[in-house]
Structure 1
Amino acid sequence: MTIEKHSGHDLKRNIAVSILLNFVITIAEIIGGLLSGSLALLSDSLHNFSDGMSLLASYFAIKIGERKANERYTFGYKRAEILVAFMNSAVLVGVSLFLLIEAYRRFKHLEPIDGPLMLGVALIGLTANLVSVSLLHDHSHESMNVRSAYLHLMSDTLSSVAVVIGGIMIIRWNVTWVDPLVTVLIALYILREAYEILRESIEVLMEASPELDLGAIKAEIESIPGVKNAHHFHAWRIGEKEVHFECHVEVNDMPLSEAQWIIDRVEEALKKYGITHVTVQLEVNRCEGKDVICERR
């Protein structure tokens, strides 16, 4: 078995354990929040529930992404992980806005809170979250999908820390306004972190061009002997790490064997830009427009 297969097996196992932990924390914090009257605990339980669901979706996305390309899905299933990353981050944005509204209502009508119970449940949640974070830490840079799930867990760990601090302050000084304040801080942090993944996943789904220097690519292609012009560029990502590129290349009239040499040179030249798949359309005095981007009418 290869190292990659070992890594994939470990990832799925660690995600499964984290899913179980998150649902256990969710139940504990809902009960603790209702008994103690802590909005921060209830908000953290909602966050943990969204964590569990996001991890569950990430798990299935990984399983789907492992399927091979076929006649219907010729690019394969890697974009399933991008879809899940989009859904996870969109849910986080929604959760953040909900928490901000609930915190505002609590600020207007402060309620007594059982500090010791709030602190005890928060410590249990923090411990479980730290275990989940440690399980996914080594996998957090493997894909956008895993990164979004890891972000869920990291943000929930930080929110658990905030709830613990809030519980200590309530016990020591009976400052119940700390509870909605902690909720606001949790919500703002989640909102900021979720935005970046939401933006990147939308760019992939909308087939936005990755960060490529198209001017430099054009100059490099046109420096190949026999190439007169390179134009009508299209670049997009199938998944997080798979970049496709296509262009029209105008050449001198030449035998097919020489034309194939040019295609090979173009493919080789574009590897250093992180492009994994190149499609070149050769032509002789065909396109009127010679711009990098083709203007469709």
Structure 2
Amino acid sequence: MSGPKIFWVTLLNATITIAEIIGGIFSGSLSLLSDAVHNLSDTVAIALSFFTHKIAQRPKDSKRKFGYKRAEILSAFINSVVLLTISIVLIFEAFKRLKSPETINGTLMITVAFIGLVANFVSVYLLEKDSHENLNIKSSYLHLLSDTVSSVGVLVGGIAIRLWGIVWIDPLITVLISLYILKETWQVIRKMVDILMQSSAAIDYETIKNDIEKMDKVKNIHHVHSWMIDEKTIHFEAHLDLEDIQLSEVEKIYDKIEHFLKEHHGISHVTLQAEVDKCCDKNIFIA
């Protein structure tokens, strides 16, 4: 994620935010103001994503043996929770507007929404590629994508208000946009919570067990633990019950298993403990 790219995305979103706040106040459009709030959170989220992305590149030290990769996960979690909260608040505000509709300047609403749509589209284009590689950047990308979709909704709403005077469409669009954001954000939050809680990685443990136990000199693999440092880095540790062999042979088995786990299951870091009939409990997981 390059500095110039972040600079332009942040500048674009700051410009949209100011334009939509002014436009929302003067036009009376709640959907414009909701879009402005989203864009304000986008600006902060993108800057935070870039900052934590830089932190994550720092090397390991004596205090943080796993490095700083989870700085990005924390950033993504904060961004998503903020967006989730804002969306819920906007839904409540929209329902108030549905009960008591207000006069809205459709022409001003259309103009500002169109500016927001163009700027959001450019921002989404700039971050689209990076969003596939990093959860932190993906959370910011989702902010921008949601605002692009909402800008379309606001634009359509403005046209409907301008042509037919359907003022209730403004809060309705706000509700639809917020529900969409809630759905997309919740999926990201669930994955990040799993990482922060050190949940087991989504790998096929039974297949791993069966394949490793077919290897020469390996009698059993048990007491398996796996967790994720970030969305790409999986750590795996286990006990190996081996036949009574020399230490030099054990190292060869380690290398073979480590290569197998990395190539076939995407596991980044492997720690194995060899033993000969030591553990009474030979289950793959400790009860």
Q: Smaller-chain TM-score range?
A: over 0.9
Shift of 1:59: 0.8
Q: TM-score of the superposition, structure 2-length normalised?
A: 0.97
Q: TM-score of the superposition, structure 1-length normalised?
A: 0.94
Deviations 1:230-269 (A, max 9, x none): 1011111111111110000011222211111111111122
Q: Which moved more, 1:266-275 or 1:167-176?
A: 266-275
Amino acid at match of 1:64: I
Distance 1:269 1:136 in 2: 34
Amino acid at match of 1:273: H
Match of 1:224 among 206, 215, 218: 215
Amino acid at match of 1:123: F
What's the counterpart of residue 266 of structure 2? 274
Distance 1:73 1:175 in 2: 57
Match of 2:64 among 73, 80, 90: 73
Distance 1:138 1:246 in 2: 33
1:148 has 2:139 as partner: yes
What is the alpha-carbon root mean square deviation over aligned residues? Answer: 1.0
Distance 1:223 1:20 in 2: 57
Shift of 1:112: 0.4
Distance 2:240 2:129 in 1: 43
Distance 1:59 1:264 in 2: 37
Shift of 1:224: 1.5
What's the counterpart of residue 46 of structure 1? 37
What's the counterpart of residue 199 of structure 1? 190
Match of 2:181 among 173, 184, 190: 190
1:129 has 2:129 as partner: no
Deviations 1:176-210 (A, max 9, x none): 00110110111011001101111111111111122
Distance 2:82 2:8 in 1: 22
1:173-188 pair list within 5 angstroms: 173-188=164-179
The secondary structure found in structure 2 opposite 1:248 is strand
Specify every segment of 5 or more residues in structure 2 that has no aligned partner in the other structure, as ranges.
none
What's the counterpart of residue 101 of structure 2? 110
Amino acid at match of 2:109: M
User: For this pair of structures, how many residues does the alignment match?
Assistant: 286
- Is the CA contact (8 Å cut-off) linking 1:220 and 1:269 kept in structure 2? no
Moved over 3 A (4+): none
The secondary structure found in structure 2 opposite 1:236 is strand
1:120 has 2:143 as partner: no
Distance 1:209 1:17 in 2: 38
